[in-house]
Amino acid sequence: MKAPNGNKLAILNALNEGGFVSGQALGDELGISRAAVSKHIKTLQEMGLDIFKVTGKGYSLNNHVGLLNQVQIQKNYKALGASTANVEVHPIIDSTNSELMRRIQAKETLESGTVIVAEMQQAGRGRRGRVWQSPFGANLYYSYFWRLDDGLQAAMGVSIAVGLAVYDAIKVLYNIDIELKWPNDIYLNKQKLAGVLVELDGQPQGPCQLVIGIGINLQMPDSFSQHIDQAWTDLSQHTQQLDKNQLVASLTDCLEQRLVEYRQTGLQTMYEQWNSLNAFAGECVELNTGHRSWRGICEGIDSQGGIRIRQDGEVKSYYGGEVSLRKAQI
């Protein structure tokens, strides 16, 4: 699927103003036929946008989250007293994480705080090679570049800090309490709301470069939700105050604060708060590496970010990598 051309984006921006827009008016403004307008609308619908038509009124976009606007994001971000991040907005991209990783591999000079957000991902990725459903304009697809000078080992618990940053942003904007599932998931009412994917490039002892990917479900279209293989939710089911540009700004600010804290003290001041938000606290869980699995009671995380599992009265910590954690089937 190709990125939307100028006409599609112009139609999308007109619909984003709210209310109904007639096909004739769109055609007149763009210098194209009503049939061409209809064809562009159909393509936008195939991307996942909920656009409907009412005879005599025209087209309307059923989207409460708005579209990304780089100027508005920076304005909101600076209003929070922050100034270090540089946010790029892309209409369509293969993956926001992949774009930053390509720049790292190409030896481009990247500043910590480089943020890429997109309206749609054509190859969105979750952990363990899973596909992240990424319809146009429906959710938040976000990646943040961060340089850490203390080596790969020091980056081991970053996803814990990132999960708390997502908690911070959603709490401050919507007064919603979320739960955190080790190592990378964000739950709301026992359903998946968001996910984190941290990718690393560097040496065990030298400086390393991190790409912190965050995907948050905002207003998932029904046509895409059928491809999700677990219980899920989105923010539109819990609040009507969604503003994607404000969310990007707040998330960036909260993430930067948590990363400063992590750089200074690791998880020493964070792991107990994470445990208070643990989605599986005290429950029987199954830990799976693909080659082996363990069952036990989830005791939260330790100060290094490892998950603590109690088996036969003994508590052991397990760390990240290609590990999955789920509630055990009794």
Of 113, 198, 105, 200, nearest to 152 (Cα)?
200
* d(C-alpha 166, C-alpha 45), whole Å: 29
In which residue are the tokens 């899973």 written? Answer: 130
List Cβ neighbours of 177 (8 Å cut-off, separation of 6 or more). Answer: 167, 171, 277
Angle separating helix axes 70-79 and 244-265, nearest 10 degrees: 50
List Cβ neighbours of 201 (8 Å cut-off, separation of 6 or more). Answer: 101, 104, 105, 208, 209, 210, 211
* d(C-alpha 166, C-alpha 180), whole Å: 10
DSSP string over 93-123? ES-HHHHHHHHHHTT----TTEEEEEEEESS
* d(C-alpha 39, C-alpha 45), whole Å: 10
Between the two ends of the chain, the Cα-to-Cα distance in Å is 44
Active site (catalytic) residues:
127, 192, 326
* d(C-alpha 108, C-alpha 100), whole Å: 10
Q: What are 140's strand-pairing partners?
A: 216
* Residue 75 token pair: 């304005």
